[in-house]
Structure 1
Amino acid sequence: MTTTSPATPRDLSPDADTRAALDGSLERLRTGSAGWSALTAAARRDLLREIRSAVEAAAEDWARIAAESKGLEPRHPLAGEEWLAGPYAALVALDAYAGSLDALARGRSPLAGVRIGTGPGGRTVVHSAPLRASDRLLLSGYTTEVWVQPGVTPHEARDAAGLASRHPHRTGGVGLVLGAGNVTSIPFLDVLYELLAEGRVALLKVNPTQDALVPVFERVFAPLIRAGFVSVVSGGGDVGAYLTRHPGIDHVHVTGSESTFRAIVGSDEDRLRVPITAELGGVSPIIVVPGRWSAADLRFQAEHVATMRLHNSGHNCIAGQVVLMSRDWEQRDDFLRELHRALTRAPRRPVWYPSAVERLGRVRDTYPDAVWFADDTRALVTGGGEVETTEYFAPVLGIVDLPGTGAAFLDTAIAHANDRLTGTLGANVLIDPATLAGLGTGFDDAVARLRYGTVAVNAWTAFGFLTPTATWGAYPGGTIDDAPSGIGVVHNALLLDRVERTVVRGPFRPFPRSLGRGRFSVLPKPPWFVTSRTGRAVSEGFARFRIDGRFGPLLVTLVRAFGA
């Protein structure tokens, strides 16, 4: 999600030379669209393998440039975020899409061999990860499920999987991808989705915050650029505005803010003439279900919550923003003390995204009793109000107290999240194994009532974002006139149709405390935690394992993980 709009008032326009260059790019893509539709699934799979080799070669530069653009030294522990959210995300997505294309090339469904079950209300549930032995090791204890919309049978889900890649010879025209400015894999992944799920060649307009990465995008997309299937351009709002109204564009996809979306859609007098999909962020809840937690549980989950807010300095649509807690929980104050400590311990970092510092100033005015950390660069506010309705896109975390315990609290928290918080992108639920077991099947019924596109249980919704065979996007129902978190989904490397949501499940306790106490995991503190001292080394190690598949260095990486 970004806050820099790619659309500007229509009286602004790029200069003549820029317009000519953009027109030329679109003309090449229009010609390339016919070539893309001539490729079989097998040919597209082979092209993805070429792109994978290009990503492998560019991975180190990609992670280094991304870290430096955010004010981090490449070897800073938090620079691991740029390995995971950049080249790692690209590599696992390419592998997953290639697997789906390989299945289609062999006349099979991408869901062949994938376990399918049943969820609340008879929903078809696709157990989308882990699907590889290496994932079971690297991401031990974490799983994802894609819940298909009610009424879709397993047979229908299998038959429809593949989307536009089931019929590669149908052309989808030219799609405009207005790239996000915060997470470097988003533009890359959105382009892949245009090509493989929608059958469209793509013009990627890079957000100005990622201009330093344009040469990297050109390197990794080189096989597609040479063939006329992708073009990469840069520029400000004038370029975005010109392209959204260009007659050579058949579809627009944007990752940004709702204000950006509204600017692109335009007024009745200047309405966008082509379809649009979007991911627009929102205010994500972190529901803390009361239970009996040990001191280690309190500390670990407080660091978990701090990570949800402070990752990427809070400049994430994925970020948790409002903690919904029980005022009747006996350990409420203990948890808040640990949360204060976690917000204090997390390494200091620049607040780098445009206008984020100004938004922090607005928080100071709106919440004079806020508690500030790290030289006043991160805030904890108590009570509702603006924190529930405004996505700050900055390191601001809210605490809202609700009544009740057990199922009663969970019901109240779900209703509050659905009705009071802006957006439907992602929700997080933290619940200890004993309380979870006590709720039985009622817990999944509660998850089904959460109107969010991704629900993470004892995990962060970012895990769903990072898992290519999961889906990422708003809860279904967004329209051009009312799209609080967007329209449609992306990622979705199994190419599923009629998706309702993704559900992520993770371990409440890390290794070794996970032994015999709920969902097992061999991971100690996850490398994406902002408090991990070895986050950069372990995240880079995960990415390098994806590159070369060598288990020797991976074992060294896993040993380092225990030094977190």
Structure 2
Amino acid sequence: MPTPSTPQPWNGALFIGGAFVPAEGGRTSTVYDKAAQVPLGEAGLASPADLDRAAREAAVAGRAWAAADFGTRADVLRDVAARLRARADEFAELIVRETGSIRGKADYEVAGAVDELHQAAALAGHVRAETLPSRAPGRESIAERVPLGVVGVITPWNFPLVLAMRVLAPALAVGNSVVLKPSPHTPLSGGLLLADLFAEAGLPAGVLQVVPGGQDTGEALTAHPDIAMVHFTGSSAVGRIIARDAGERLKKVSLELGGNNALIVLDDADLDQAGQIGAWSAFHYQGQTCITAGRHIVQRPVFDAYVAELAARAGRITVGDPTGDGVGLGPMISVEQRERARKLLDEAVGAGATVVAGGDGDGLFHRPTVVTGVTPQMALWTEEIFAPIAPVLAVDSEEEALAVANDTSYGLVDAIVTGDLARGGRLAARLGAAMVHVNDSTCLDEAHVPFGGRAASGLGGRAGGESNLHEFTELRWLTYQHTPIHYPY
């Protein structure tokens, strides 16, 4: 990608009205390479006034976009997909540097974003009306799906490209305009470079606005009267605040939130498979995903062997600058995130837990860590960790495994490893998570599947495929009276 000194239209800017413009007062924030801790560039820092302008312009521009032929909207999305594929290396390198992820994860993001665009382009032609029967003579009765208007989107830093695209692409496909506030950690790959792609593809000015900013910008987005829906991906704590604020305004809200996900290893599991699944579920992208397995629940006959397998795999993972050869884990996103993980681990060890592998690291780096001797009362077990730490707990039966797995306020994803798929299916039916995977990782996602959580892990619909049609449109009842009507007065 271009060096930070190379002039870029997005550097230090917001994207409003189809152009890169300075924020009010010229406010900017510096974006850093997470491993090297050197500046990558600047992003504009939107004020509430900037957000107000963006939302008002999106409402105006959205009217013509909603009226556009569905083929026009689909063509723009396919054009963006082609441009993203052509610039894949640029985006992947930026994701590596901006998020601290390894190149494989960055390549996955780019490919996933392309998939989201193609799925959304296909969705554009599925916005149908349905003719309904009526008891009234001469009445033609229709239920039609219509765009919501302006969709406000607040995205996280861990998968900035694909998690932005999975919302804005379908929202645009069905005729909405979008105001996107990317995370302050990743405003480039998660926002401003995306805007550059859409502008190149000919998206009309004002239909996509990108306003990097902080808490005040997010609060202004949630409160703005021109924003019909707020979609937030992030922590459950912040999600509750957004749900409260949107609820006070009777505004539609969709929340994709955190998870403290269980990986259950049954006593008939293939331990090599269990080790692979456990390591990927716990350590992928430094454990900084909502679908990370933060609770490893293992039947006692295979407990020691599973711990040994997981610890061996953790010990073989190289931690370092993600641009280096053979590196499996990069830095954590921030000092705050790193210190929180250290605090949870130290508290658990102080209460009797044992670190079997890993345990620490320098700077923002944290070695993949396996912990035994945990109890269900420890914060390391009950809270979403967002770090490469795998607490492992022994249980004596399937019933105990189910009880422990379901003893959580979250409801995102669980996984089961077993030598008997039928046994896994029976167990899956009794788990409380919205997604369950048998003999695979908790860390699964595809553009066309109904992805999402329940309870403290989510509110609203699901992302993916036809689910997006219901998420980003609403039903309107339309009637035509073909014969004269007669009322008593």
Partner letter of residue 241 of structure 1? E
1:82 aligns with 2:72: no
1:201 aligns with 2:230: no
Partner letter of residue 369 of structure 2? A
Q: Distance in 2 between matches of 1:244 and 1:265?
A: 9
1:469 aligns with 2:448: yes
- Where does structure 1 lack aligned partners over 5 or more consecutive residues? 1-13, 73-77, 110-165, 476-482, 500-564
Partner in structure 2 of residue 256 of structure 1: 234
Partner letter of residue 207 of structure 1? S
Report if the CA contact (8 A) 1:324-1:399 is conserved.
yes
Partner in structure 2 of residue 413 of structure 1: 401
User: Deviation string for 1:338-394 (max 9, x for gaps)?
Assistant: 111011111213122452211122123321133151744243223222233210111
Report if the CA contact (8 A) 1:177-1:191 is conserved.
yes
User: Deviation string for 1:422-444 (max 9, x for gaps)?
Assistant: 31011111112xx335x4xxx43
Task: State the shift of 1:498 in Å.
Answer: 8.4
Partner letter of residue 247 of structure 1? P
Q: Distance in 1 between matches of 2:55 and 2:69?
A: 23
Of 54, 61, 71 in structure 2, the residue corresponding to residue 32 of structure 1 is 61
Task: State the shift of 1:461 in Å.
Answer: 3.4
Q: Radius of gyration: which is bigger?
A: 2
Partner in structure 2 of residue 290 of structure 1: 267
Partner letter of residue 373 of structure 1? G
Q: Distance in 1 between matches of 2:59 and 2:388?
A: 42
1:69-108 maps to which residues of 2 (within 5 A)? Answer: 69-71=98-100, 78-84=102-108, 86-102=109-125, 104=126
1:372-521 maps to which residues of 2 (within 5 A)? Answer: 372-373=357-358, 375-376=360-361, 377=366, 378-382=368-372, 383=374, 384-385=376-377, 386-404=379-397, 409=398, 411-418=399-406, 420-432=407-419, 435-436=420-421, 439=423, 443-463=424-444, 465=445, 467-475=446-454, 483-495=455-467
Report if the CA contact (8 A) 1:195-1:201 is conserved.
yes
Q: Distance in 2 between matches of 1:358 and 1:343?
A: 20
Q: Do the aligned partners of residues 42 and 225 (structure 1) sit closer, same or farther apart at CA in structure 2, a change above 3 Å counting?
A: closer
Report if the CA contact (8 A) 1:181-1:207 is conserved.
yes
Q: Which runs of 4+ in 1 moved over 4 A?
A: 14-17, 496-499
Partner letter of residue 208 of structure 2? V
Partner letter of residue 226 of structure 1? P
1:152-167 maps to which residues of 2 (within 5 A)? Answer: 167=144
What is the identity percentage for the equivalent residue pairs of Structure 1 and Structure 2?
A: 25
The structure with more helix, counted as a fraction of residues: 1
Report if the CA contact (8 A) 2:370-2:390 is conserved.
yes
Q: Distance in 2 between matches of 1:358 and 1:217?
A: 31
Task: State the shift of 1:455 in Å.
Answer: 0.9
1:53-64 maps to which residues of 2 (within 5 A)? Answer: 53-64=82-93
TM-score by structure 1 length?
Answer: 0.64
Partner in structure 2 of residue 189 of structure 1: 166
Partner in structure 2 of residue 511 of structure 1: none
Q: Do the aligned partners of residues 46 and 108 (structure 1) sit closer, same or farther apart at CA in structure 2, a change above 3 Å counting?
A: farther
Task: State the shift of 1:497 in Å.
Answer: 7.6
Partner in structure 1 of residue 38 of structure 2: none
Q: Distance in 1 between matches of 2:305 and 2:204?
A: 58
Partner letter of residue 334 of structure 1? A
Q: Distance in 1 between matches of 2:166 and 2:75?
A: 17
Report if the CA contact (8 A) 2:52-2:220 is conserved.
no
> Using CA pairs below 8 Å that are at least 6 residues apart, which structure has the higher relative contact order?
1
Partner in structure 2 of residue 277 of structure 1: 254
- Where does structure 2 lack aligned partners over 5 or more consecutive residues? 1-22, 27-46, 131-142, 320-329, 472-489
* Partner SS, residue 456 of structure 2: coil
Partner in structure 1 of residue 481 of structure 2: none
Q: Do the aligned partners of residues 490 and 229 (structure 1) sit closer, same or farther apart at CA in structure 2, a change above 3 Å counting?
A: farther
User: Deviation string for 1:174-224 (max 9, x for gaps)?
Assistant: 111001111121012111233346x53210001011123233211233247
Partner letter of residue 60 of structure 2? T
* Partner SS, residue 278 of structure 1: strand
* Partner SS, residue 473 of structure 1: coil
Of 296, 300, 325 in structure 1, the residue corresponding to residue 298 of structure 2 is 325
Q: Distance in 1 between matches of 2:239 and 2:391?
A: 26
* Partner SS, residue 398 of structure 1: strand
* Partner SS, residue 117 of structure 2: helix
* Partner SS, residue 209 of structure 1: coil
Report if the CA contact (8 A) 2:266-2:416 is conserved.
yes
Report if the CA contact (8 A) 2:450-2:467 is conserved.
no
Q: Distance in 2 between matches of 1:71 and 1:275?
A: 34
Task: State the shift of 1:235 in Å.
Answer: 1.2
Q: Distance in 2 between matches of 1:375 and 1:191?
A: 38
The structure with more strand, counted as a fraction of residues: 2
TM-score by structure 2 length?
Answer: 0.73
